[in-house]
Amino acid sequence: MKSRLKWVGLVGLVLSALSLFVHFLLARFTEDGFSEYQTSITIFSWRPIFENVDIPTTSPLYRRLWGPVRHLESLHPHANPRGNYAEPSMQTNGFIFVRIQGGFHEIRNSICDVVAVSRLLNATLVVPEIQSTTSSKGISSEFKSFSYLYSEEQFMTALAKDVRVVKTLPKDLKGARRKKKIPLFRVPYQASPYFFLHHVLPVLNKHSVVELVVSDGGCLQAILAPQFEELQRLRCRVSFHALRFRQEVQELATNILHRLRSPGRPFIAYDPGLTRDALAYHGCAELFQDVHTELIQHKGAWMLKRGIVKGSLSVDSAGKRLNGSCPLMPEEIGILLRAYGYSWDTIIYVSGGEVFGGQRTLIPLHSMFENVVDRTSLSSSWELNRIYGRESNLASDYPKKLTPVNVELKRKAWKLAGPRPRPLPPPPARPKYPYNIEGWWGWVAESDNEPDSTVMELRMNAHKLLWEAIDYVVCVEADVFVPGFDHDGKGHPNFATLVMGHRLYQSAASRTYRPNRKQVVKFLEETRDHLYQANRTWLTSIRKHLRNSLLDGLTEASVKSKSLSFLSYPVPECSCSSHDPAKSTSHTSSSSHSLHAALGSVHHCPAWMDTSMTSLSIEKERDEDLDEDDTSSSGLFLRNSSGAAHENGSGEASKEEAQLEDQEELEGGERR
């Protein structure tokens, strides 16, 4: 018996040693590819919670919440060249080397502009260099500047018939650039074609190479003369076809989309637009409290000193908000969505590389909707680390060991001190280590000057580009998109406007709300004291406003956004219509006329495009509106409020009112 126990113990020791050896091997080779063998069932933090039954896709309520915008179903993407469009010649006027600075939306706008400029000047474009993704920022050396975010091969292949694109400059020109012997232009924001043809082209012909520095999110006018319309379609081909994210980023974005759709329900994508720069530029500091207000004010003072904004540092944030110049807060967006009829268990994806104020700002939205998620709750840490690549370990700022205190020396000094009693000297200043400073904003209490960005912060800025790339894919594919704000920290269109422009091009009929912030704030102020117990009249006003914003927002975007960024409203240049106006003259309405004015003269789709399934029939729409009554949208503003109504004995009355209200909304939405 003892010998058997000895053998059992020996086998246990051998197995333990073998287990330790295997663990050491796994720890050693994890970064070299063990992540490729991870289980297909990824564990992430989101656990969906649903209580309401799925709404039938044929019901009026589903069509009101998730259905396509019928007036836009005839609009299709069509960015192919029209008429005579010559391929780029092998003999060009020279090389254009571009350095692009800025955030995600500025980079994307700038790349599209420099491709159009290269076509305009008949130049060979070197793959642009993105300043935020260079190896000096502490990011992985596996990827070059452009390839950190986008696929170089896809970019060059997709533009083969538009512009000559090469990866690098020839050796002689590369050496001249290192010695700073090539001409450089710091291109102003929205420069005209005249600037490039009369200032840049002569220098390009003389030196065979120019370097352009683009820092404001665009270097070519958003609205061009009719003779340059092909350049507008080229911008669309670049943004919507040539600029594809690199494989690892695209795969993670696709996986997140699959996880969002796995419950079998549609979802809303929401972009808060709450960045420190945007809040400072538009004077919205008082929307926050304590240190966040001080941080925004500090950024505003910095902008005033450099002439980015004009006026004084003291700004009436409340007046700005009432004027619609400030972002809608997450709480306000949540109230709008609940008032419109979205239930508390609706899936909402929150995008954005930065939400100023952190998760505390999103607490009211979480309280109104149970399934509020973002990229971190839909992916694991190893998946995110995989898209970063292999990064070097940065030196830690934390002290490895505190200075030891010599107790004997302290006792000796005490004995040799003067006569007693004596006052004790003030204690020495407590050393302030980085982990003792409260939060990343700790410098505010100690200095008037914001410290320079550390290598870790620069690396984080590069990571934000990848986060926003994932969010961009999810927002474009979402069933519903809601922007919180549409301007960045320079007064230009932001990330949300790029998403709305892409959705308008790719699937114009998808629901993209464009609420009028001034009108929304007015609605909210009307019932400020009873915000969560709003009456039926107020709910009806909110619903009508959101429904109208699906089309009225296009009219506003065609006037305001397009003049600053063509990609925010690429219609009618990059779209075609399958709807024949000659066949529907008897059904035109005032809303159709205003929509046609916003869309402009849309080209009729060519015959090779199959549009037989997208023709509209006014009679069919009216019949569908009367198919089924919506009895579940009333009472969705507060959780389980409909159940309470039935318990109070007023269930039948509220049911009839809901039927009448939703019937009126559905019919009114088509008569606009």
Average pLDDT for runs of 10 along the chain of length 672? 78 85 68 41 66 82 91 90 88 93 92 95 94 75 86 94 93 87 91 94 93 90 92 95 94 94 93 91 83 85 86 84 92 93 93 82 92 91 88 60 69 74 68 51 66 80 91 96 92 92 94 94 86 83 93 88 91 84 48 63 77 42 39 44 39 42 46 42
Q: Contact at 8 Å (CB) between 509 and 575?
A: no
Tokens read off for 517: 């912030």
Q: Contact at 8 Å (CB) between 209 and 173?
A: yes
Q: Contact at 8 Å (CB) between 16 and 310?
A: no
The sign of the dihedral angle between the CA atoms of 517, 520, 522, 527 is: negative
Specify the 3-state DSSP secondary structure of 412: helix
Q: Contact at 8 Å (CB) between 276 and 354?
A: yes
Tokens read off for 635: 């009472």
Tokens read off for 9: 């113990």
* CA–CA dist 452, 94 (Å, integer): 38
Strand order, beta sheet including 603-604: 75-77, 575-577, 603-604
First-to-last alpha carbon distance for the chain, in angstroms, is 92
Count Cβ atoms within 10 A of the Cβ of residue 561 and give its class: 0-12 exposed, 13-18 middle, 19 or more buried: buried
Comparing CA positions, the residue from 3, 468, 550, 513 lying closest to residue 249 is 468
* CA–CA dist 501, 503 (Å, integer): 5
Specify the 3-state DSSP secondary structure of 38: coil
Cis ω on the peptide bond leading into residue 425 (within 30° of 0)? no
In this structure, what DSSP letter does residue 83 have?
A: S
Query: pTM here?
Result: 0.82
Tokens read off for 636: 């969705």
Q: In Å, what is the CA distance from 325 to each residue of 318, 319, 484, 485?
A: 10, 9, 11, 9
* CA–CA dist 288, 329 (Å, integer): 10
The rounded Cα 233 to chain-centroid distance in angstroms is 23
* CA–CA dist 148, 325 (Å, integer): 34
In this structure, what DSSP letter does residue 70 have?
A: G
Contact partners, residue 477, CB within 8 Å, separation at least 6: 257
Q: Contact at 8 Å (CB) between 142 and 390?
A: yes
Count Cβ atoms within 10 A of the Cβ of residue 25 and give its class: 0-12 exposed, 13-18 middle, 19 or more buried: exposed
Q: Contact at 8 Å (CB) between 642 and 635?
A: yes
Q: In Å, what is the CA distance from 10 to each residue of 1, 4, 262, 547?
A: 14, 10, 49, 75
* CA–CA dist 474, 468 (Å, integer): 10
- pLDDT at position 29 is 54
Q: Contact at 8 Å (CB) between 219 and 112?
A: no
* CA–CA dist 476, 349 (Å, integer): 12
Q: Contact at 8 Å (CB) between 525 and 628?
A: no
Count Cβ atoms within 10 A of the Cβ of residue 5 and give its class: 0-12 exposed, 13-18 middle, 19 or more buried: exposed
Tokens read off for 520: 């929304």
* CA–CA dist 510, 70 (Å, integer): 9
Contact partners, residue 5, CB within 8 Å, separation at least 6: none
In 10 A of CB 46, how many CB atoms? 16
- DSSP notation for 340-372: HT--TT-EEEE--S--TTTHHHHHHHHHH-SEE
Amino acid identity, residue 560?
Answer: K
In 10 A of CB 521, how many CB atoms? 18
